[in-house]
Structure 1
């Protein structure tokens, strides 16, 4: 049984970084997926692949995996540079604009 410990990426539909502070421990499925002959949906008989645990820190997730004897792979997150505009969101409604601004 193998697990992957990672920090989830931000949602592509949001500009904020909410729900990206936690660390996840996710079990990796051991076998491949099979196609259900009736519905055509992919399925997996490995129930451990459905396990996803949340932790407040990377150390807590690693300690849990070591305590339970779970082989794990640690995936470090890629930090992104914050996008900070000079005047912020209010710049969209500025009345002292020198150039024509349209959508």
Structure 2
């Protein structure tokens, strides 16, 4: 996991994380042996993802659940340290906002 921290203009920071590339690419239905994927593979994945129907493939569900649990874990750790945190709505599940104290 990689964490990226950015400052907000109105104060506070945003902590964003990314999952392992293999997990991330698997969630896009890309072969894990081609990391990073080339442009053709990304176009192919976009076409496949656009045609998905429910239930979602396990790789997509797994990636979504990992990112959701990571967000909750990071929120909990920062809140337990006494920091005012919230979900950063600029990102679906991979970002938290820490207000300036």
TM normalised by structure 2 equals: 0.31
* Rg (Cα) greater in structure: 1
Give the structure with the higher percent helix: 2
* TM-score calculated relative to the size of structure 1: 0.30
